[in-house]
Amino acid sequence: MHIDLDWAIASFHRLRLRAPLHRHAAPQRERQVPRIECMHRTAIVTVVTHNYLHYAKALSLSVKEHCPDAALFVCVADDPGPDFRAPEHWAGWLKIEDLGIPSVRRFAFQYEPFELSCALKPYAMRRMFQLGFDRVVYLDSDTQVYGCFTHLHHWLDKASLVLTPHAISPVPLVPGHDERVYLRAGVFNAGFVAARRSPITEQFLTWWSQRLAKLCCNDQPGHLFVDQKWLDLVPGLFPDTHSSRHFGYNAGYWTLTQVAIAADSAGQIHLGQDPLVIWHFSGFQASQPEIISRYSVDGNIRTFPALRPIMQRYAQRLIECGADHYQALPCELTRLSDGTPISPAWREAIRTDHSILVDVQNPFDVEQTPNLVARFQTATTKASMLTLWRKNLERVVRDVRSQTTTGWRKPARLAPRHDRKAA
């Protein structure tokens, strides 16, 4: 059930004033309210498109098990359909229209679905603070919680923001698999961002959302990687930031080469001396549970047997949460309202505010703008060139990364014209 946000805000203030609720008014909602009354009034929020809802459901089950006092919210970036019913243990779910984004349909159109989900993070976090929560934890939907947030709350007692770096221990210098990857993709992993209510947090969310309003592109050759690369600047701009050195928070395939991973007699996984609290299943596929991540060369459970139980359990959980059903659903963000596929160049034309399209309020709606496709085709010559340039430069970077250390200085050829679509 979509949460009534005005009701949630009012309920939160009643709790703070210790005013009783009328038990006969809304019994279903009343079961959700005590989540706001936990010690730190903590919200956990994630963002998905509706064909990734099985990830959000799997995350919510782990939150329910290990952080029962936290309120979990799911922001759905597109329309989940009239038959969607949120699980009862969710505190609520949000539509993109609930986030207060100006010109929200243009905002959504300019990005690919992955980019859009990333761009919504600061808006979703701010909405949690507007609902009255004192602490907000953003988690990517492909994460699982395996322990309580004791360390996190201790860090937030002293800092406004908590980030988790990819690398907190040096790794071997191997082209394509050493710290140079993080110089391109980002020092910090944006699958976890925690904040407490403070002026610094408000400044951070304002700054981050302003950057992501137009610059949340997956354009690593252009020094942008969606929301994540921007986090490199946060410790310098916002000194009230804690950079976690706990291996167990937001661990993922990037952690494999940094620390020994083992399980104790009770089955609890430890990364060095740190217990596992959050594992980020980036690059994991339920159909191949023996592969920890498709992004890691050595990432398989034969090399890291301690991870076998959580990999197998997570694969099973995704299936139980409807992976087969949700993965088969089309994403409405990839097509116009009449079913016409959206060209990347059309998105670029909206993102750069092409003059012929500035009056289009909803670039998805062909009924509202009957000559929409023709206007896109007229506008996209420049945008197509920019999109093609990005793809070719990304191909260059991929080619160079595959070379030896000496080969990093060698120029790589551009893809021939017939290969560019695949590049």
State residue 395's pLDDT score.
Answer: 56
| Beta carbons within 8 Å of 332's beta carbon, 6+ residues apart | 78, 79, 364
d(CA 300, CA 297): 8
Q: What is the pLDDT of residues 259-306, one digit of tens each?
A: 999 999 888 999 999 999 999 999 999 999 999 999 887 778 888 999
Domain residue limits, the chain: 5-326, 339-419
Of the candidates 72, 81, 14, the one whose C-alpha atom is nearest the C-alpha of residue 325 is 81
Q: In terms of pLDDT, which residue wins out, 140 or 23?
A: 140
Token pair of 103 as six digits: 């010109």
Q: From the CB of residue 153, how many other CB atoms can be counted at a distance below 10 Å?
A: 16
Token pair of 73 as six digits: 């919210």
**Cα 29 from chain centre:** 27
| Beta carbons within 8 Å of 408's beta carbon, 6+ residues apart | 175, 400, 401
Any idea which residue has 């080469």 for tokens? 257
Residue 167 — left, alpha, or beta (φ > 0 → left; ψ -120 to 50 → alpha)? beta
Domain 5-326 has CATH 1.20.1440: no
Helix count and strand count (H, E) for the chain? 14, 14
Average pLDDT, the chain: 84
State residue 176's pLDDT score.
Answer: 66
Q: From the CB of residue 100, how many other CB atoms can be counted at a distance below 10 Å?
A: 11
Any idea which residue has 């009643």 for tokens? 14
* Helix or strand (DSSP H, E) at 65: helix 53-66
d(CA 259, CA 339): 48
DSSP state of 138: E
The share of the chain scoring above pLDDT 90, in percent, equals 69
| Cα dihedral sign, 248-254-258-259 | positive
Any idea which residue has 């110089």 for tokens? 183
Q: What is the pLDDT of residues 2-19, one digit of tens each?
A: 555 554 544 444 333 333
Of the candidates 203, 193, 338, the one whose C-alpha atom is nearest the C-alpha of residue 278 is 193
> With bands split at pLDDT 50, 70 and 90, how would you rate the model's confidence at 392?
low
| Beta carbons within 8 Å of 341's beta carbon, 6+ residues apart | 334, 335
State residue 91's pLDDT score.
Answer: 94
pLDDT above 50 for 320 = yes
**pTM, whole model, 2 decimals?**
0.82
